[in-house]
Amino acid sequence: MLFESASKIDWQDIQEKLKIFDLHLFGKDIPVNLLILAAPVMLFFVVAEYLYSKKKNLGLYTKDGMIGSIGVGLGYLIVTALVNVVTFKIVWACYYYLAPFQLPFTWWSFILCLFAYDFARYWAHRIAHEQRFWWASHITHHSSDHYNLTVSFRLCWVDQIKLIFFVPVVIMGFDPIMFFWVHQIGILYQFWQHSDVIPPLPKFFEAIFVTPTNHKVHHGRNESYIDVNYGSMFIFWDKLFGTYKQPGEKPEWGVKQPINSTRNPFYLVFHEYIDIGRDIAHAKTWKDKWKATFGRPGDYEGVEKF
């Protein structure tokens, strides 16, 4: 079938290499996930930042905000664990049947995969700000009116649908195991970016990588900070494609459209989908229904994006 090859790693080999049924959860075997393993370390740094903020009276945390962020984060880990096998099998199938060639599992292919993945993530992130359907799965991440490490926990429970943006990376021939390592490393790298206590780093580092300093801009609802600094690991994509904004004025956190609850994880994850459904139901023409779903966020019926 297409580019199927006996030389490629098959599904049974992947299961053996990953020791895929290592974690027993909710009465079923779940593959080990780096995000789950890293959760205790992340919580440690959250507590440290919280205590530092309290000692210095910085006001970085609120009770409702913490409840909302941790609730969304726990939900994301559970959903990810439950669908991990299916997601991995889709990635493997794209590699096994659609990749015209395979790349060896080496240090240089790992670095190449890292760059290819982050390039795809830049565009997935950018599109999530430019089309309302995808924005619905991303607004969760921007919903906090404070900026702290728990903001990184605000990942939508249906983010797995964004896998479609990364299929081109998979069919470049990267080993599926390598792809998932890179994917999880990419998510973990974004954790520290959401701290308001880390000072600017050396200029050479700020010029290449996404840091708390240049990522804060992305979370600002200031007019000059809308739709900028999409990079996840490397900031030079923004400089290359004209979306980079140098940090300047202090960001105003959150989104412009009203968020009725900052602590209910189900509301934070699904409220924009509910709004889309409402707008589709009230739209009088198919053109309006399309615009309500795939137009730029905020363009339909005067609802502001941020």
Indicate whether 1 belongs to any domain.
no
Q: Which of 7-16, 61-70, 144-153, 276-285 has the lowest mean pLDDT?
A: 7-16
**Given this model, what pLDDT does residue 27 score?**
54
Contact criterion met (CB below 8 Å) for 132 and 295: yes
Pair 197, 53: CB distance under 8 Å: yes
Q: How much is the pLDDT for 34?
A: 76
The pLDDT value recorded for residue 3 is 58
Residue 197 counted as domain residue: yes
Identify which has the larger pLDDT, 9 or 306.
9
Is the pLDDT at 8 greater than 80? The verdict is no
Over residues 219-268, the pLDDT tens digits come to: 999 999 999 999 999 999 999 999 999 999 999 999 887 788 888 999 99
Report the domain count for the chain: 1
Tell me whether residue 196 is in a domain. Answer: yes
pTM of the model: 0.88
Q: Is residue 3 part of a domain?
A: no
Kindly state whether residue 277 falls inside one of the protein's structural domains: yes
Q: Which of 16-30, 32-46, 129-143, 264-278 has the lowest mean pLDDT?
A: 16-30
Question: Cα(first)–Cα(last) distance of the chain, in Å?
Answer: 46
C-alpha to C-alpha distance for 186 and 179, rounded to whole angstroms? 10
Confidence bin at 21 (pLDDT 50/70/90): very low
Residues in the chain: 306
Q: Note the pLDDT of residue 304.
A: 45
In a domain, 4, yes or no: no
Please report whether residue 154 resides in a domain: yes
Cβ proximity of 156 and 137 under 8 Å: yes
pLDDT tens for residues 166-217?
A: 999 999 999 888 998 899 999 999 999 999 999 999 999 999 999 999 999 9
* pLDDT class of 302 with cuts at 50, 70, 90: very low
- The pLDDT of residue 82: 85
Residue 5 lies in a domain: no
pLDDT digits (tens, 9 = 90+) for 86-139: 888 899 889 888 888 889 989 999 999 999 999 999 999 999 999 999 999 999
pLDDT of res. 303: 44
Per-residue tokens: 104: 């060896």
Please give the residue range of the domain that contains residue 207: 11-302
d(CA 32, CA 152): 21
